[in-house]
Structures are given as C-alpha cells and as structure tokens.
Structure 1
Amino acid sequence: MAKLQVAIDLLSTQEALELAAKVAPYVDIIELGTPLIKSEGLAVIKAMKAAHPDKLVFADFKTADTGELEAGMAFGAGADLVTILGSVDDATIIGAVKAAKEHGKGVVVDTIGVKDRVKRAQEVSKLGVEFVELHAGLDEQAAPGYSIQVLIDEAKRAGVPVSIAGGVNLNTIAAVKQAGVAVAVAGGAIYGAKDPAAAAKALREALDAA
C-alpha cells in the first residue's frame, strides 16, 4: 500500500502545525520542507512530532555533507526520516544511514538535480536507505515542457523503493501509484488548496482506489 506524504513548504511553525492538524487524518508522512526548517530550525521538528506522534515526520534537510552529524540532529529532534542529496559522495549517505540505524530511523535520498535519477536510485539503494525520492524541484517544474510523466516512467524502471515528488495531484496520483511507488508526495496540491483537508482526503481516496 503506497503511503501519502504531505510536503509542508510554509515558513512558520504555527502555520505548519495548523496545516498538519487539518490534513493529518488523511496522510501517513508529514514532511517539513527545507525552507521551513531553515526558518524555524530543529524546534519545528520537535513541535510537529509532539503534535503528531503517530505520524512519520520527514525532515527535508537535503544534506550535502556531514551526513552522520546532520541526520543525528534530525533524529534527535524527533524526525523519523531525513533527506540526503543524491548528488553527494556515498560517504555522506553511509554516515547518515549509520545515524539512522543508531536511532531506529530512516534515510531518504533526494535526487533533485541528479541527471540520471534511475541509475543513482539503484546505486544508493544498496547503501541501506529507506527509499529514494524521484524529485523534480519547484524550479524544474516551472520550466517549459515539464511533465510528471518523466518521474512516473523513471519509477517504473528503477526497480527499487521510490517516492515521486513533483506534480502529484488528483489528476496524476493514480498513475503515480501504478508506477509502483512506496510513497506519493503532494505539496501544493494540498497546502495550496482552498480547503487543504478536503484536498488531502480526496488524494487519500484516489490513492487507495488506484
């Protein structure tokens, strides 16, 4: 069963907690976006885990160096999952996985900016990560001609546990699930909706039905 992850790309702890309270009944993973963590620090992780102890809290650190140290910081604050950039040296990922094992948590490798996402996903999956995020960032999504179909096709070819982030919405979530993903990541489709709770509920139902 594929999990539904909400990416919270807001800038204050209060806003993040308010959004999470609305959508928590319908999601499995609550992601604290990189801008949010840069704005609020480790405190937002602690606050979110305290508010939703039954959910997986995902700290989108996008760590590029000192993997063991930064992953340990995230896990110590209550995160269940932390991201390491797929473009980094394997040693950084290995260090983060070491910290994850010590805390009983997980590492997700984010392939944002990686040219061959499928190849890199297959490589890093051998290092003990939880899953690999096939990720088109907001800047890439804004480029002319972008289509989530690229990520869907990559997920089908990867042959390892992956998530898709970059255009998951009601129109695409069925195809995302059918690509065999472990996690579907929805950001703007939820936090940008007039009624985030209704949007999350609809995505949950569509994901389960696909």
Structure 2
Amino acid sequence: MKPKLQIALDVVSIKEAQDILSLNNLVDEVDIIEAGTVLLAAEGASAPRRLRETYPTKMLVADFKIADAVNTIGWMLFDAGANLITVIAAADLATVKIAGQLAKKYNQHIQIELYGRWDFDLAKEWFKGGVDHVIYHHSRDASQAWTVSDIEKIKGLIGIGFHVSVTGGLKPEDIEMFRGLEIFSFIVGRSLYEAKDPVEVARAFKQSIDASF
C-alpha cells in the first residue's frame, strides 16, 4: 500500500486548524489529519470531535502522547472520533497493553511515539500487547539528515510487524530514501501549513511518494 501524507496540526485553536485545512482545499491534498499535542492541550477532546464532524471520511489521529490514565483518555479520544491515538514510548508496559486492549474494543489503533530510549525487545512486547503502529522520529532540531541508521531501525520495526510512520524535518526530496519500505505515513507539520503555498508543498510530497512507491 502506498504511504499516506499526514498533516500534524500543532496550533492553538480548532478554528486555526480548520482555517488551515480549508485554505485552497488543502485538506483534499492530505490523507490523514492529526490533532497535534498543542491543539489537544488547547481544545481537549473537542478537537478530534470537531474535526470528525467536519471531515467525516478522513483518517484522524489524536496525538496526546498518553503516559498514564489511558483508559479514560483513550476512551474520550476514541469516542470523539479518533482512528489512532498516540502513547509515549516511556509509558509503562502495562499502560501500553491496556491501550492495545482499548483500541481493539473500538476497532481502532494505538501508535507508540518513539521519543527517548527504546529498544527492539520492548517494541516486540508492545506488538504482543496489541499495538500495531509506531511513529519513528528524527529530531527536527538535529543538524544531520536522515541516515542509514534511521533506515535500518525502521526496517527492524517493520520486521516486527508494525505499521511505521515517520516524521522529523521531512522534505519532499527525502521521500526517495524510504523507497522499498512499507511506510504507513509521512508526517509533516509546520513546514507544510506555514509554507507560502501549502497546497504546492503537499502536492510536491504526494508527487515524491508516487515516484518512490
């Protein structure tokens, strides 16, 4: 399956998020809408609920980065219309397993955000616990580009069975590095919606995806 293009909306109001998506019909150029951590902090579960009401057919991510109270937070976000909810990699394994059970109940998915320290043994436990998505981060603050080491780690995660999304300072010209890998989505945020012409940038990403996959 061809990788999807995901827009991460780390803005401070649902109005700002909807204005971004509606400007020149940018929403038509992306496959997945993400209610980013900042937006969720500002608007709570009303953010995914409003996005679901406005865009009923779009895949929707709630990037809460849950570390605890997963039953309560997860229920609120799935009930609001999220298809995927993020849990931080530092969360206790028991929390991750509860998240996996909750996702199964809703017929939805949990994504583990691979911030900080993690290893493949732990990743295998997540997968056994019912989590089938991870997000691989390359720090946008890092000066170096994506590396062979990044690609090898992504291959390892795919080998476990995960659907892997990637993010972190991505540019359209970076996409070809991932050729041959079963990437679930490429996640872009401010570099897309703060661009002079967001639609043009989104189309450049889609063209790179089409050319590489």
TM-score by length of 1: 0.89
Query: Contact 1:168/1:176 (CA < 8 Å) preserved in 2?
Result: no
| Alignment correspondent of 2:5 | 4
| Alignment correspondent of 2:116 | 113
| Alignment correspondent of 1:173 | 175
Query: Contact 1:68/1:98 (CA < 8 Å) preserved in 2?
Result: no
Query: Contact 1:2/1:177 (CA < 8 Å) preserved in 2?
Result: no
Deviates further, 94-103 or 171-180? 171-180
Aligned pair count reads 205
Q: CA deviation at 1:190?
A: 1.0
- Name the amino acid aligned to 1:175: M
* Partner SS, residue 62 of structure 1: strand
Given candidates 48, 51, 56, the residue that maps to 1:48 is 51
RMSD of Structure 2 on Structure 1 (CA): 1.8
- Name the amino acid aligned to 1:10: V
| Alignment correspondent of 1:157 | 156
Q: Kindly tell me: are residues 98 and 123 of structure 1, through their superposed partners in 2, closer, same or farther at Cα, counting changes over 3 Å?
A: closer
Q: What residue ranges of structure 2 are gaps of 5+ in the alignment?
A: none
TM-score by length of 2: 0.88
Q: What residue ranges of structure 1 are gaps of 5+ in the alignment?
A: none
| Alignment correspondent of 1:78 | 81
Given candidates 191, 194, 197, the residue that maps to 2:193 is 191
Q: CA deviation at 1:179?
A: 3.5
Given candidates 66, 69, 72, the residue that maps to 1:66 is 69
Q: Kindly tell me: are residues 201 and 85 of structure 1, through their superposed partners in 2, closer, same or farther at Cα, counting changes over 3 Å?
A: same
Query: Contact 1:9/1:187 (CA < 8 Å) preserved in 2?
Result: yes
Query: Contact 2:97/2:126 (CA < 8 Å) preserved in 1?
Result: no
**Hey, which bits of structure 1, 4+ residues long, moved more than 4 A?**
none
* Partner SS, residue 123 of structure 1: helix
* Partner SS, residue 172 of structure 2: coil
Q: Give a deviation string over 1:120-165, Cα, whole Å, max 9, x none.
A: 43332222223111123xxx4214x443324333212321321111
Q: Give a deviation string over 1:45-80, Cα, whole Å, max 9, x none.
A: 111111111111100010001222211110011111
Q: Kindly tell me: are residues 192 and 121 of structure 1, through their superposed partners in 2, closer, same or farther at Cα, counting changes over 3 Å?
A: farther
- Name the amino acid aligned to 2:200: A
Give yes or no for the alignment of 1:87 onto 2:90. yes
Give yes or no for the alignment of 1:147 onto 2:141. no
- Name the amino acid aligned to 1:147: A
- Distance in 2 separating the partners of 1:177 and 1:189: 22
Deviates further, 73-82 or 172-181? 172-181
